[in-house]
Amino acid sequence: MNSKFLSRLARRNLRKNARSYGPFILACVLTVCMFFIILALAVSPSLQSMTGATTVQVVIRYGVIVVGLFAVIFIFYTNSFLIKRRKREFGLFNVLGLEKKHLARVIGYETAYTALISLALGLALGVALAKLLLLVAAKILGIAPPMGFFAGPRLLAAVIGVTAALFGGIFLLIFLYSIRQVYVARPVELLQAEHAGEREPRAKWLMALLGLVCLGAGYYIAVTTTDVIQAMFLFFVAVVLVIVGTYLLFTAGSIALLKLLKRNKRYYYKTRHFTAVSGMMYRMKQNAVGLANICILSTMVLVMISGTSCLMLGMDRALFERYPYDMNISHSDEATVALTKKAVAEAGIVPVNEAEYSYVNFAAYSRPGGLDVTTDYTFNTESTLCDVLVTDLDDYNRCTGQDYDLGPDEILLKVDRMKYGSDTLELLGKTYTVKAQVEDMVRYGLMTANLTSTCYIVVPDREALTDLAAAIASEDVRSSEQYRVDGLYTLQRFYGFDVAGHDEETALDARLAVRAAWNQALEDEGSDLEGTYECRAWERQDFVSLYGSLFFLGVFLGLLFTMAAILIIYYKQMSEGRDDRERFQIMQKVGMSRLEVKRTIQAQVLIVFFLPLVTAGLHTGFAFPIINRVMALFNLMSSGFYLWCVLGSFGVFAALYAVVYVLTARTYYRLVSM
Reduce the DSSP state of residue 298 to 3 states and report it: helix
State which residues form the domain around 192.
Answer: 1-196
User: Does the pLDDT value for residue 270 go beyond 50?
Assistant: yes
Mean pLDDT for 401-429 is: 87
| Average pLDDT over the chain, rounded to an integer | 77
480 secondary structure, DSSP code = -
Q: For the chain, state the CA radius of gyration.
A: 32
Reduce the DSSP state of residue 455 to 3 states and report it: strand
Residue 18 lies in a domain: yes
Residue 464 lies in a domain: yes
User: Higher confidence at residue 232 or residue 24?
Assistant: 24
Spatial distance between the Cα atoms of 624 and 644, rounded to a whole number of angstroms: 11
- Strand 410-416 versus strand 453-459 pairing type: antiparallel
Reduce the DSSP state of residue 147 to 3 states and report it: coil
Domain end residue (candidates: 498, 529, 561): 498
Which pLDDT value is given to residue 478? 44
User: Does the pLDDT value for residue 601 go beyond 70?
Assistant: no
Nearest residue to 425 via CA among 479, 386, 483: 386
Residue 472, CB half-sphere, CA atoms under 13 Å: how many? 27
226 secondary structure, DSSP code = -
Spatial distance between the Cα atoms of 564 and 76, rounded to a whole number of angstroms: 12
Which pLDDT value is given to residue 479? 42
Alpha carbon distances (Å) from 27 to 120, 128, 322, 658: 13, 17, 43, 20
Which pLDDT value is given to residue 57? 67
Taking residue 196's Cβ as centre, other Cβ atoms within 10 Å add up to 11
Residue 597 lies in a domain: no
Residue 39 CA, chain-centre distance (Å), reads 19
Reduce the DSSP state of residue 433 to 3 states and report it: strand
Spatial distance between the Cα atoms of 126 and 167, rounded to a whole number of angstroms: 14
Percentage above 70 pLDDT, the chain: 72
Dihedrals phi, psi of 619, to nearest 5 degrees: -60, -45
284 strand-pairing partners:
none
Which pLDDT value is given to residue 321? 85
Which pLDDT value is given to residue 422? 86
Mean pLDDT for 476-503 is: 66
User: Higher confidence at residue 138 or residue 175?
Assistant: 175
- b/e sequence 44-78, b meaning 16+ C-beta within 10 Å: bebbeebbbbebbbebbeebbebbbebbeebbebb
- pTM to 2 decimals? 0.73
**Which residues make Cβ contacts (< 8 Å) with residue 77, sequence separation at least 6?**
293, 568
Domain end residue (candidates: 478, 498, 518): 498
**CB burial class (10 A; 0-12, 13-18, 19+) of residue 99?**
exposed
Residue 36 lies in a domain: yes
Mean pLDDT for 468-477 is: 69
The residue length of the chain stands at 674
Residue 480 lies in a domain: yes
Work out the pLDDT band at 405, boundaries 50, 70, 90: very high
Domain end residue (candidates: 481, 498, 515): 498
Nearest residue to 537 via CA among 315, 325, 318: 325
Residue 466 CA, chain-centre distance (Å), reads 46
Residue 266 lies in a domain: no
User: Does the pLDDT value for residue 379 go beyond 50?
Assistant: no
Work out the pLDDT band at 414, boundaries 50, 70, 90: very high
CA angle 195, 19, 82 (to 5 degrees): 45
Spatial distance between the Cα atoms of 252 and 208, rounded to a whole number of angstroms: 5
Sign of the Cα torsion 235, 241, 244, 245 reads: negative
Ramachandran bin of 348, using left for φ above 0, alpha for ψ from -120 to 50, beta for the remaining angles: left
Which pLDDT value is given to residue 126? 85
Which pLDDT value is given to residue 668? 67
Residue 357 lies in a domain: yes
Q: Give me the number of domains the chain comprises.
A: 2
Residue 206 lies in a domain: no
Q: Helical H runs in 17-99?
A: 18-43, 45-48, 53-95
Which pLDDT value is given to residue 510? 92
Residue 122, CB half-sphere, CA atoms under 13 Å: how many? 29
